Chains A and B, each alone.
Chain A
Amino acid sequence: MPNASETSDALVSVQNLRKEFDISGGILEQLSLRRGRIVRRRESVKALNGVTLNIARGEALCLVGESGCGKTTAGRAIIGLLAPSGGEVHYDGRRIDRLRRAEMLPYRKKMQMIFQNPYASLNPRKRVTETLLEPARFHFPEQSEAEHLRRVESVMESVGVDPAWGARFPHEFSGGQRQRISIARALMVDPEFIVADEPISALDVSIQAQVLNLLMRARAERGLTYLFITHDLSVVGHFGDRVAVMYLGRICELGETREVFSAPRHPYTRALLSAIPKIGKDESAHIKLAGEVQTPLDLPSGCVFRRRCAHADEQCARAVPELHDIGASRVACHAVADGRI
């Protein structure tokens, strides 16, 4: 568990966050016949299994993992789009995961989100100016329309979209420009903290660099704190101060990006890092994982990674590994804790 001092200077603090999705459907689909008896069975996907992390004011924390690892669910639970099944989310020292919509409003000005799909994240029926005005009008009703418009103009300029294009509809823009507009919408309320869910993975390479630069500049100018969710490790290496590696709803390694990249400790982090296709390096170093990517439908007992891990033993099947301080990072692995790796 994080100690008190660590919690207090964190802007966002997440403790033992859990989320299950019930996928058993309606009551009729839950019923089945077994040995002559009708039984009701409920199935759920355990997307988050106790995620604990703190995000310090002003830092960029990258949450990285493969599809289905729960990184997007974690981001949505933290921003309040999903109600967690268990655990707590604190913002600036106050618990926010059980708040009602109206009680949440003060935090809506401080926390914003940027989405993955630039083609779905803007309302196709709204002109760009209207999309950007909406958060300003809602959160700053005391300001005049002229002030709102001035704000729209300055934010559009700061994300590199010509304010003269405000009267256009989203479909008249390219993917990269739409993503800029999405970022502009998040910046309209002058937030402190932004959850960016795969904001560049739908974009072309040359456009990715533009958007990444924009996010970094916005951070420098506005002192933003980021939770940056991505599957792309090369972006993590460039963008994140710290990185949290997720596997099947748990964090397996958490630490300074430089530290984790230069000396990964968890077997999964090692395999992941070795798998990035790199330019100018030999491919042969790739570490192969046993078995298939697992689904969060039937989680193994103990360590969620053990069925694919070359170092797993019976202790890994018995006990869930907690995050321990190992060197400068925190690692959830029995083998690492015992010094077997």
Chain B
Amino acid sequence: MPLLSVQNLEVVFPLPGGTVRALRNVSFDLDRGERIGIVGESGAGKSAAAFAILNLLGKPGKIQSGRILFDGHDLAALDYEAMRQIRGNRISMIFQDPMVTLNPVLTIGAQMTETLRAHRRMTRARARDIALEKLRAVQIPSAEKRLAQYPHELSGGMRQRVVIATALLSDPQIIIADEPTTALDVTIQAEILELLLRLCEDFAVGLILITHDLGVVFGVTQRILVMYAGRIIERGPTAEVIGAPRHPYTRGLIDALPSAARPGTPLKQIPGVMPSLHEIPSGCAFHDRCEFAQARCAAETPRLEEQGARAAACHFPL
């Protein structure tokens, strides 16, 4: 049985201008210690998926139907208090901006021990020891000293390390990382990704990495889910999907990367823009941007067809 199983998840945002369906029929599994990547452009629904798992959907968003099975419990049906026991304890989350997680007026040590003591009964000294151990695990130099420092005294890369250390405090089984390196410089990004990868392997933590950057997903994850307009349109082992995409959108994304083209030549571009969730085209949501689209694509929504370990939602897969 997988550790986390998301089944037919539907998330809606009832807005004055009409109800927006942010996630449509999203299903995926995560095994113990597995690393998956959710890839998509802004508005694809990748963050909504992560927030739905932790029941953190902002108002007025809500889970319409579907199940989120974690270790046998349906997270979609849990009440606030039960969810709080899981959130930040057995499932941790890392955000793009470290300052969302870190409180600017508390020292690193204070917030780490507080987080720990909110979930488990222990002495302050014991909590401090654990905090120190986690800071060392994320390779923060002079960890001892950092406990007394405030977030603004650290560089962006160090802050993100502290956030990761905080996420590790309660030995979670899953870490959800929402664009964890987007705000960082390239050299720091490489270090943080390496760190995440190593921690997941060492502690057998499952990772859900949400990003728009295919290069990042490629380096870190084992499986990949590609999202478009609220649906998963392709999934499978990362190297296979990126090496030989079946869905035209996935292929478009890969071909659009500058490194894919000969220098100076025009890049392959996907025409148009991602539809707003208010006006998703009929049939396959991608059909009006797709070079292979035929009459059937506008009429009939393709199902996510399983083919071995891979699946693609396309009537005419590549």
Contacts and interface: CB of A to CB of B under 8 A. Distances in A.
Q: Do chains A and B touch in the complex (CB under 8 A)?
A: yes
A277 B189 contact: yes
A248 B111 CA distance: 33
B187 A238 contact: no
Interface in A80-111: none
A275 B213 CA distance: 14
A275 B257 CA distance: 16
Contacts of B216: 277
B14 interface: no
B267 A212 contact: yes
Interface stretch (A31-39, A142-150, A203-211): A203-211
Contact of B261 (A210, A238, A258, A271): A238
A238 B267 contact: yes
Contact of A66 (B185, B243, B271): B185
A131 to B, nearest CB: 20
For chain B, give the interface size range. Answer: 35 or more
Contacts of B212: 204-205
B193 A277 contact: yes
Interface string B178-190: 0000000111111
Given A277-B190, A293-B188, A213 B263 contact: no
A280 B252 CA distance: 16
A278 B257 CA distance: 10
A209 B157 contact: no
A272 B256 contact: no
Interface in A35-78: 66-67
Contacts of B42: 204
A239 B260 CA distance: 12
A107 B269 CA distance: 34
A209 B155 contact: no
A288 B139 CA distance: 13
A127 B267 CA distance: 31
Contacts of B260: 279
B215 A279 contact: yes
A234 B156 CA distance: 23
Given A205-B253, A213-B269, A272 B259 contact: no
Given A231-B185, A293-B157, A238 B273 contact: no
B194 interface: yes
A22 to B, nearest CB: 21
A311 interface: no
Contacts of B190: 274-275, 277, 286
Ranked nearest first, the 4 interchain pairs of A and B with the lowest CB-CB distance are A277-B215, A238-B258, A209-B256, A66-B185
Interface of B: 41-42, 155-158, 185-191, 193-194, 212-216, 218-219, 242-243, 252-254, 256-261, 263-264, 266-271, 273-274
